[in-house]
């Protein structure tokens, strides 16, 4: 039976009951509009933990003023049915009050990586993510929490905050789930019109092409990236926020040759829709 909860006190009671029974707990935070990418996180959590809690909360703190907080897809009953089919143990749909009590005054400020990748165009985004994730982790204190590699910078920030706030929780990164044509699944893909949807897979295609040419160091990376950006624009992308190779752990930029595990990361617009993606690049 899947339980649904809205209040912190109910969540606390359930977690206490499970802890009393010696159960391990896995936690999967989401913003809803669930798809097979979310299901991959849930399934891994179910495999590794006795009990699994999935949260659905569209966190206002991580949206900028001109971003899509108001139009972000909300479909709670459909999502709850999806999670019941996935046999999760509890769905946490916190009220605003359960996370941000009236007059709240504490937020986190992530200094690291605040001037690279998505943080450039979304200045307080990772502060909002770090604030809500740390609230969830403190409320639940799971053994493991699951995050998609789809949001690679977010995964790095969450690992960082867990370490720096001394949370005894393992952060598990889960590989990206894609459509058959390579497009990474995302709740925001719903914003794409049919013609835009046909353009979208060329993001992954271009990344795979660039990635394959980084091997052997025949062309310097900055040159391949310039070519990649040009290709994206010619395929119908309207703006490329970034296309960069960075060290998988430190996120330091790699401009010439890949000597350690790295990621090729991209953010690009088709019309008003911003897509992000990344792939692993090995030396
Ligand atoms: P969201 O609901 O978009 O905030 O995503 C919730 C979690 O699911 C985050 O950890 C995401 O990185 C992860 N996620 C979203 N899309 C995918 C995907 N296509 N593959 C793997 N994980 C994903």
Q: Is 111 exposed, middle or buried (0-12, 13-18, 19+ CB in 10 A)?
A: exposed
* Distance in Å, CA 29 to ligand 1 centroid: 9
> Does the CB atom of residue 171 touch ligand 1 within 6 A?
no
Catalytic status, residue 38: yes
What is the rounded average pLDDT of the residues 179-186? Answer: 98
pLDDT of the residue at 119: 98
What is the rounded average pLDDT of the residues 64-92? Answer: 97
**Three-state secondary structure call for residue 29:** strand
pTM listed for this prediction = 0.98
What is the full DSSP assignment across 188-213? GGGG--HHHHHHTTHHHHHHHHHHHH
What is the rounded average pLDDT of the residues 212-230? Answer: 91
The pairing of beta strand 90-92 with beta strand 51-56 = parallel
For atom 18 of ligand 1, which residue has the closest CA? 37
Give the tens place of pLDDT for each residue, 187-219: 999 999 999 999 999 999 999 999 999 987 788
pLDDT of the residue at 4: 98
Catalytic residue, from 38, 111, 125, 138: name it: 38
How many other C-beta atoms can be found within 10 angstroms of the C-beta atom of residue 92? 25
Percent above pLDDT 90 for the chain:
98
Q: Which residue has tokens 């909860």?
A: 5
Nearest to 76 by CA among 61, 52, 98, 54: 54
* Distance in Å, CA 157 to ligand 1 centroid: 15
**Three-state secondary structure call for residue 22:** coil
Question: Are 166 and 27 spatial neighbours (Cβ–Cβ below 8 Å)?
Answer: no
């Amino acid at each position: 039976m899947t339980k649904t909860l809205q209040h912190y006190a109910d969540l606390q009671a359930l977690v206490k009951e499970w802890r009393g029974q010696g159960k391990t707990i896995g936690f999967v935070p989401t913003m809803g509009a669930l798809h097979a990418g979310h299901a991959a996180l849930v399934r891994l959590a179910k495999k590794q933990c006795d009990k699994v809690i999935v949260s659905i909360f569209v966190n206002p703190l991580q949206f900028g003023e001109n971003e899509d907080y108001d139009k972000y897809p909300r479909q709670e009953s459909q999502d709850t049915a999806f999670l019941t089919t996935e046999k999760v143990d509890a769905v946490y749909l916190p009220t605003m009050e359960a996370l941000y009590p009236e007059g709240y005054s504490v937020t986190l400020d992530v200094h690291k990586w605040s001037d690279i990748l998505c943080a450039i165009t979304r200045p307080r985004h990772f502060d909002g993510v770090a604030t809500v994730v740390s609230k969830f982790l403190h409320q639940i204190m799971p053994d493991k929490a699951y995050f998609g590699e789809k949001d690679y910078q977010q995964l790095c920030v969450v690992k960082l905050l867990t370490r720096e706030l001394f949370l005894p929780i393992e952060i598990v990164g889960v590989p990206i789930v894609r459509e058959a044509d390579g497009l990474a699944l995302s709740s925001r893909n719903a914003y794409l019109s049919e013609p835009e949807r046909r353009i979208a897979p060329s993001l992954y295609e271009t990344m795979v092409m660039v990635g394959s040419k980084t091997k052997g160091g025949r062309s310097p990376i900055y040159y391949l990236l310039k070519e990649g950006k040009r290709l994206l624009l010619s395929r119908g992308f309207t703006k490329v926020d970034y296309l960069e190779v960075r060290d998988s752990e430190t996120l330091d930029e790699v401009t010439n040759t890949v000597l350690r595990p790295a990621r090729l990361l991209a953010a690009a617009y088709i019309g008003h829709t911003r897509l992000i993606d990344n792939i692993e690049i090995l030396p």
